[in-house]
Structure 1
Amino acid sequence: MKSLKHGLLAASCLMFASTSALAAAPTGRANPRLMGTRAIVACDAVEKSCGVASISFPAGISGLVPYGRPDVAIATMFYPSVDDAEAVLARVDAGNTAQQAVDYVFSVDPYADYRQLAVVKLNPNGTITVGQQTGAQNAPQRCAVKGATFVVQANNQTTATVCDAMASAFQRTTGSLPQRLLTSLRAGARVGHDNNGERSGVIRVWTSENESTFYTKVLADAVVHSSRTALKDLEVEMNRYQATIAAPYASDLIPLDAETAKVVKSTLSAAGYYTGVIDGTWNDAAEAALDAFNWNTLFFLKPTVVVNGQRKIDGPLVNYLRNVDPKALILGGE
């Protein structure tokens, strides 16, 4: 088995027969100490969406790890490769399953030993295929779990159990795909993390079904660079995007209980929308304040709704209000 240094210098180009794309060889200057991350790749046949959530140490993983569109999501890791990702897209478009596409790419890539590649494909008939491979020269403490609709993979971790934790959480969780991807990342953090620490992350989900696709196919987009609280920041950014840009999902509705009512009222009051008592009740004045906030701030309106006799509210919106600077919500304010 060739060494990493020899592997990086051995070839000058890579030709993928399926795409006729010429890929330059790595320069050999990439720092292997920073290679390593964990990610989950998944599709949802009901939402008609696919996405990637990943967290690692170095800034810039948002441009390295996730590739995709509403019907396919890809995570290319350890020594990431845009050419591998594009070759996978070409293969699945030609009719390959996700695993067939991954297997082909690994068979022609001279650096396959140093790759970790996960693919999930949503077919027009609603079926989903998954594929994954990890090269033999990948980092220690690597792992991978394939489910019916998702793949979890990781390398250079403090423990290889992160994959099982992330997979289990994703399968147990309800809600929209972005929220389930986030929950999976959080579950992994409870048992382990990147050996270098986790300072940067990305959650990106594409969809063809949400009402927002008239304007954009990006259902969720959150990016964090070089933060000591990267996972928390990623959660804040994703809820901010999903609450303000994406149309709501019924699966993200949560009960408007007393604690939630206080959170919403408090933020609306600080932003100048609500002037009543900040308590755990909900009344017409609170709904009017939320309505005014909706019209001034959100791309899609998210009022409270009554489901089976219980008043509910959009969960990402509540989380957004819980963490936002209220002054940033003041229309025309400085």
Structure 2
Amino acid sequence: MQPVSTFSLVARDPETGDLGVAVASKFLAVGAVVPAARAGVGAVATQSYANTSYGPRGLAVLELGGSPEDAHRIFAATDPGHAQRQYGIVSAGGAAFTFTGDACHPWAGGRAGENYAAQGNLLTGPEVVEALEATFLERTDLPFPERLTAALLAADRAGGDQRGRQSAALLVVGEGKGYGGFNDRWIDLRVDDHPDPVPELERLLGIHRLLFNPARNARPLSDEEIRWIQAAAARLELYAGPIDGTWSEAVEAALKALLGRENLEERYTGGPRLEEEVFAALREAYGEA
């Protein structure tokens, strides 16, 4: 079995209760193996000859009221390969635990505190985990998902996996924050094979924010901007009215069609108003009128 030699951060946002796992490795599709999380319960990262049962089993312990240490004791008592395992666990209440088995490949270790567990194995040195921890603790100015990826990038640039780079992933869960509000899987992004996966993961997070952030700062469209919408939609045969900068139901239908083509429909609340970044995305997609 190939070791999942990697570094990861498991964390809780104390402001929202959201839980997340950020991970990177010289390993194909690390996001398919390491992270597990459930809103209102906890989050787990399992790595280094990863026992993939640790994710669901750890969450089950937490859901029944157990602590991260309780999950650790169960793993140690039931897994003959426990000395090869490494994991981090954070509960919905912020309790955290990290474990590095004696048989993990050096450098290997972890650090944990309230709301976070940072760990890694086969790293260039302890500075990787130290960068994970320090950046997470310092970058409280960032939203929680961006805080996780910033910590991951700092650890990567501090040395990361001594074998190199290949994949990275970000999983963040929150009550009712999944697509359409039907589950808790708010952000689930994976870079499976890339020469520099952590910046690519940050790029994907930016796209996710553009597409799915709730509309909060819509501003009125100018006559010139309405004219641009009319012209862009007309070129695509989505609008057949006058190009005169006047708002109408037909123009609104055309704007909705343009937004739908770019998966931006969730960023529109109706009327002649758009957020600046959404209008900029349309201009980038469809150019000058």
Whether TM-score is above 0.5 comes out as: yes
For 1:162, the aligned partner's letter is: V
| Aligned-CA RMSD value | 3.4
Q: Tell me if 1:218 matches 2:185.
A: yes
Residue 198 of structure 1: aligned partner: 165
- Compute the TM-score of the two structures, normalised by the length of structure 1: 0.65
Q: How does 1:143-158 map to 2 (within 5 A)?
A: 143-158=109-124
Change (3 A) 1:247 1:115: farther
Residue 195 of structure 2: aligned partner: 228
Match of 2:28 among 55, 59, 65: 59
Single out whichever of 87-96 and 50-59 deviates more from structure 2.
87-96
Residue 17 of structure 2: aligned partner: 48
For 1:67, the aligned partner's letter is: A
Q: Tell me if 1:181 matches 2:166.
A: no
Residue 119 of structure 1: aligned partner: 89
Aligned length: 250
Q: How does 1:44-123 map to 2 (within 5 A)?
A: 44-71=13-40, 72-122=42-92
- Compute the TM-score of the two structures, normalised by the length of structure 2: 0.75
Q: Measure the CA separation in 2 of the matches of 1:172 and 1:302.
A: 34
Residue identity over aligned pairs, in percent, reads: 21
Aligned residues of 1:103 and 1:133 also touching (Cα < 8 A): no
Report SS of the residue matched to 2:111: strand
Q: Measure the CA separation in 1 of the matches of 2:131 and 2:209.
A: 25
Q: Deviation per CA, 1:209-253, whole angstroms, max 9, x where unpaired?
A: 5485624422112111221121121111122223313437x9xx9
Report SS of the residue matched to 1:81: coil
Q: How does 1:255-266 map to 2 (within 5 A)?
A: none
User: For structure 2, which runs of at least 5 residues remain unmatched after alignment?
Assistant: 218-224, 234-250, 270-274
Change (3 A) 1:326 1:161: same
Q: Measure the CA separation in 2 of the matches of 1:143 and 1:313.
A: 44
CA drift of 1:325 comes to 11
Aligned residues of 1:100 and 1:131 also touching (Cα < 8 A): no
Q: How does 1:162-177 map to 2 (within 5 A)?
A: 162-173=128-139, 174-177=141-144
User: For structure 1, which runs of at least 5 residues remain unmatched after alignment?
Assistant: 1-29, 254-264, 274-287, 304-311
Q: Tell me if 1:298 matches 2:257.
A: no
For 1:154, the aligned partner's letter is: G
